Amino acid sequence: MTKVYPNLNQDIIQSEEEEFNCGKGGGEAEVVLTVWRKSLLFNGHGFTVFDPKGNLLFRVDNYASESRGEIVLMDANGKPLLTIKRKRLSLSEHWLVYTGECTTGQPLFSVRKNIAPLHKKHLLEITTTGHASRLHVKGSYTRRCCSVLDDTCREVATVKCKELPSGSGAAFGRDVFRLVVEPGFDPARAMAIVILLDQIFKR
């Protein structure tokens, strides 16, 4: 497979930096992250996430089906940012997301797999604890083509296939894709949603 990061192809760096800087003149720009479904640990499972310049931004290690109960999203230095914990005794997939490594007290937000027959296009329903605001995910994660939408149906984050420059003769598989995060939405929170999409729909 083509190298992802580090040792980036310079054409890819330039292309993604241009997308990142597009429209930056008067306000914030979207953040385009590269997600690699691979751990930095030898023989480990997880995610490695890079910013538009190819710098390590997030990591998830020892992510495996045998330990589905709790997943920790860390920064580049291994500091826990969010802990994702499956709620026990739930009739459907129900996960709670906490700040840092604490898994007690009030969660930051909760995520449920959608089982409502009238909203089959919605993959996940996301509720911020203590607020009326909700998010939902629609599209196809297995095809790496889905969006996180707010209450007004505005896209706040999008999962897209990662393409190489034309004529390169190489392609990325589904283990490498892009996560585009819109201004005002937390990239760590967006990545937590991606982790849950992978947990629930990877089969």
Residue extents of the structural domains in the chain: 10-201
| Residue 121 confidence (pLDDT) | 73
Are the beta carbons of 133 and 150 closer than 8 angstroms? yes
For every residue of the chain, DSSP letters joined together read: ----SSS--HHHHHHHHHHHHTTTTTS---EEEEEES--SSTT---EEEE-TTS-EEEEE-S--GGGTTEEEEEETTS-EEEEEEEPTT-SS-EEEEEETT--SSS-SEEEEE---GGGTTEEEEEEETTSS-EEEEEEETTTTEEEEE-TT--EEEEEEE--PPTTS-----TTEEEEEE-TTS-HHHHHHHHHHHHHHH--
Alpha carbon distance 146, 129 (integer Å): 24
Q: How far is CA 179 from CA 22, 26, 54, 67, 119, in A?
A: 16, 23, 14, 25, 24
Alpha carbon distance 147, 123 (integer Å): 10
Q: Which CATH class is domain 10-201?
A: mainly beta
Q: Walk along the chain (203 residues) and give the pLDDT tens digit of each residue.
A: 345 654 444 444 444 544 444 444 445 789 999 999 998 887 778 999 999 999 999 999 876 545 558 899 999 999 999 999 998 776 678 999 999 988 788 999 999 998 765 556 789 999 987 766 899 999 999 999 999 999 899 999 999 998 877 666 566 788 999 999 999 999 999 999 999 999 888 75
pTM score: 0.83
Alpha carbon distance 80, 98 (integer Å): 10
Strands 122-128 and 31-36: unpaired
Is residue 2 exposed (0-12), middle (13-18) or buried (19+ Cβ within 10 Å)? middle
